[in-house]
Structure 1
Amino acid sequence: MSREILDVPLANGTPGSQHSVRIIRYGAADARPKAYIHAALHADEAPGLLVLHHLVEQLDAADARGEIRGQIVVVPYANPLGLAQFVNGDHLGRYDLASGRNFNRKWPDVAGELTIRLADRLGSSADDNTVLIRSTIREILDERGAGQPVDSLYTALAREAFDSDLVLDLHCDDEGLMHLFVRPEISAELSDLARELGCRAVFSQGSSGGSTFAEASVEPWIRLAAALPDKVIPIGCLAATVELRGFIDISDEMASADASALLNVLRRRGYVAGQAGLPPAALCEIAGFDACDVVRTPAFGVIVYRAELGERVTCGQPIADIIVPSSLGREARVTVRARTDGLVVTRRLKKLVAANQVIAKVVGQKPLAHRTGYLLED
């Protein structure tokens, strides 16, 4: 078998403690093409953990049959720091308790340094330039220190992922349908991923400024090409954030099917031998961030939803009522309405909310004048 298991130690936060991140590699460490897939960067989002459990089983079987053709890196739990954050029995895996950082924000930006180092070194061959860009990305990351454990985690994952041909970051929403976030420059090349997974929404827009893991993986290629338009610079990394439905959408049957879909994507791209066949028909069109109505509650209270997950609503249709406990009678019920025609893609799992919290996303096709800012919640 070609499988290799590595446990990469992270910087210590306190004396006597040690975290490590596990990396499972199929194929040689220098083999191409290279795919990188990890789960639970937001460590409380469990669906991806089960999906990768099943994917590893399927890759083990493919490896035993001699079918591994490229390099596939699977990180079954991307965030050992967040996995350990239980406070009074509650798991808090979205933010680093030591620094307050959202684990899927502010990932290393190597684009500026990459441009400086390569401005006079790139040639006329796309293949040669790709090799040089990847090696330079690794050089930049190898030079970076790690002051805090979270910085050590970021560097360990980035070193494995940022030189990959394909990067998939598995997440989930509160209550949600399967959906993707992908840059528009590569959305067509990843359309089979959306179709294999049965995505009900695909969100595509230029850099959001949030520096998510997937963005940081592909952004150096896009920015380098923009900075050096006279050079031949392909986009050498296809990266996507995969939202595996909601927190409670977990079963062996569902996870096994999702893993099989990912394996088909890998087969189609030559990482694994065999025929993947044609992907299923698309269930949605690509939508820009500005076509998604991020529905927020105007008041503190208890949500009573009036629109189901997956329901198509029209502009002005009631989505939910907020029951304000400090008010009485009819005044206690505040109705929240859709501001676009579209599909209810997400809802909130916990029904007691503060004012201005996101309680749903409704994705349409028309840009919305009121939509500003970042689509993902902090």
Structure 2
Amino acid sequence: MQRIDHPLPWSHLGSERQLSVFRFGAGSRKVYIQASLHADELPGMRTAWELKKRLGELEANGQLHGVIELVPVANPIGLDQYVQSSHLGRFELGSGKNFNRAFFELSGPVGDLIGGQLGTDAAANVALIRRTMGQVLDRLPAPGSQLEALHRLLLRHACEAEITLDLHCDFEAAIHLYALPQHWPQWQPLAARLKAGVALLCEDSGGSSFDESCSAPWLRLARDFPRAAIPPANLATTLELGSMGDTRVEQAQANCEAILGFLAEQGLISGDWPPAPDACCEGMPFEGTQYLFAPHHGVVSFLREAGEWVEEGDALFEVVDPLQDKVSVVRAGTSGVLFALDRGRYTQPGIWQAKVAGRDAIRAGKLIND
């Protein structure tokens, strides 16, 4: 194992933060795994520690057939953001920016540099594009903030990978994942191993999130240069590992073994691994996800559990205003998987309370919430 520590610029006087990358194995193939980019989403960090131990064992036994880079703490900035005993790891306090939005878009600059060099040799194109992605990021002007520097470092390590896993969680949720629809067949074995409840599929959710910034440039380059052989060479996903409190040892170990089993299927790890289960969740269009909101202020009582299938019209939660004796029942507007619930129990209009993934598109434009 090799440890790489990147100091982050723009630290305050007398302090310093760093991003630590742990590199296992060797070879031309590469996997990149990071955890807790939203720093208060800790199931991924706990799973990453299990991965760190297991990858060390596998490397020592000569079972790795490629490089696996692991970043257990992808957001040291947000990890430090405690306000009156509450951990606020989703947004940078200074700027208000979501840590998993507005990553640099690579396809345009890469196409400008090498579009004329892309030909019919897919392997040569992949090598050239990966190399150029790194050069584009390396040649950018100095970052203007610590957050911008963090984004560039994460993307710089991931842009060379053929598989990228970004480990997150939701407030109260079933395990689920976000991916490009073109990649869903390849992700199904991992979803089955994780016993995921649903996969949410779209090419552009509207937020320039980390996983899309890794995978979508390959689609865009293929469309911009249709005569060139450009495969989707970075299989990237956001894995939502259940609820914020899902950090139990057995959960982290199960997540770890599911990920390792998937990587073994891809030929990156040797040894005996159990096959992926036959049963797998559905892949739903992200445009089919309904966000449900309270019609007024009040206390929320959920009537269904995350992970359940619900039918259109089913009661999902009620909102009680105890001053006006007002009770409102909020019902599903589509049939699908109730995959996430808010963690708060006092709400107001404009704050989502539940998310239902349906089979039919009902939204357009920006799909992802902040």
TM-score by length of 1: 0.95
2:40 corresponds to which of 44, 59, 63: 44
Indicate the residue corresponding to 1:376 in structure 2.
368
Which SS does the other structure have where 1:246 is aligned? coil
Partner of 2:106: 110
- Name 1:9's counterpart in structure 2: 7
**Which residue identity does 1:342 align to in structure 2?**
G
> Aligned partners of 2:68, 2:134: CA distance in 1, in Å?
18
- Structure 2 partner of 1:27: 25
What secondary structure, in the 3-state scheme, does the structure 1 residue paired with 2:260 have?
Answer: helix
Match of 1:340 in 2: 334
CA contact (8 A) 1:299 1:356 kept: no
**Structure 2 equivalent of residue 137 of structure 1:** 133
Residues 39, 75 of structure 1: 8 Å contact kept: yes
Give the Cα–Cα distance (whole angstroms) in 2 for the partners of residues 349 and 377 of structure 1.
15
For residues 243-272 of structure 1, give each alpha carbon's deviation from its aligned partner in whole angstroms, at most 9, with x where no partner exists: 000011220011101100011111111222
Is 1:174 the counterpart of 2:171 in the alignment? Answer: yes
Q: 1:26 aligns to what SS in structure 2?
A: strand
The CA deviation at 1:215 is: 0.3
Q: Secondary structure at the match of 1:211?
A: coil
1:149 aligns with 2:146: yes
The alpha-carbon deviation at position 290 of structure 1 amounts to 2.2
Kept after mapping to 2: 8 A contact 1:268/1:275 = no
- CA drift at 1:300: 1.5
How far apart are the structure 1 equivalents of 2:16 and 2:307?
43
Aligned with 2:104: secondary structure? coil
Residue number in structure 2 paired with 1:59: 55
SS in 2 for 1:130: helix
Which residue number corresponds to residue 246 of structure 1? 243
Structure 1 contact 306–320 (Cα < 8 Å) conserved: yes
Contact map agreement 2:203 2:216 (CA 8 A) in 1: no
Aligned structure 1 segments of 4 or more residues deviating by more than 4 angstroms: none
How many Å separate the matches in 1 of 2:266 and 2:280?
22
Name the amino acid aligned to 1:205: C
Structure 1 distance, partners of 2:56, 2:287, is: 42
Q: Distance in 1 between matches of 2:117 and 2:45?
A: 41
* Aligned partner of 1:352 among 336, 346, 355: 346
Matched, 1:200 2:192: no
Amino acid across the alignment from 2:279? A
The structural deviation recorded for 1:72 is: 0.1
Contact 1:315 1:340 in 2 (8 A): yes
Match of 1:93 in 2: 89
For residues 273 and 227 of structure 1, the distance between their equivalents in structure 2, rounded to whole angstroms, comes to 38
**In the alignment, is the contact (CA less than 8 A) between 2:206 and 2:365 conserved in 1?**
no
* Aligned-residue identity in percent: 35
Contact 1:39–1:76 under 8 Å retained in 2:
yes
Q: Helix, strand or coil: the match of 2:186?
A: coil
User: Displacement of 1:335 after TM fit?
Assistant: 1.1
Rounded Cα–Cα distance in structure 2 between residues aligned with 1:295 and 1:68: 45
Partners of 2:44 and 2:254 lie apart in 1 by 12
Distance 1:164 1:245 in 2: 25
SS at match of 2:300: strand
Length, aligned pairs only: 369
Distance 1:374 1:197 in 2: 28
Write the deviation string for residues 109-168 of structure 1: whole angstroms up to 9, x where unpaired.
111111111111112210011000000000000012211000111111111011110000
1:364 aligns with 2:358: yes
> Residue 8 of structure 2 contacts residue 16 of structure 2 at CA under 8 Å; is this kept in 1?
yes
Question: CA-to-partner distance for each residue in 1:169-196, whole Å, 9 max, x for gaps?
Answer: 0000010000010001211122111111
Q: CA offsets, 1:303-351, max 9 Å, x none? A: 01122223322211211111124412xxx10111111122211111111
Give the Cα separation in 2 of the matches to 1:275 and 1:375.
Answer: 40
Q: Alpha-carbon deviation of 1:291?
A: 2.0
What is the CA distance between 1:277 and its match in structure 2? 4.2
Q: Which residue of 2 aligns with 1:164?
A: 161
Contact 1:265 1:276 in 2 (8 A): no
- Counterpart Cα distance in 2 of 1:376 and 1:248: 22
* CA deviations over 1:24-78 (Å, ceiling 9, x no partner): 00123xx221000010000000101110111111111111211111000000110
CA distance in 2, matches of 1:235, 1:335: 44
Once structures 1 and 2 are overlaid, which stretch shifts more, 254-263 or 308-317? 308-317
> Which residue does 1:304 correspond to in 2?
301
2:216 matches 1:219: yes
Q: In terms of mean alpha carbon deviation, does 310-319 or 86-95 score higher?
A: 310-319
SS at match of 1:245: coil
Query: What's the RMSD between the two structures over aligned residues?
Result: 1.3
Cα pair 1:294 1:375 within 8 Å, conserved? no
Residue aligned with 1:231, SS? coil
Q: What is the CA-CA distance between 1:227 and the residue it aligns to?
A: 0.5
Is 1:314 the counterpart of 2:308? The answer is no
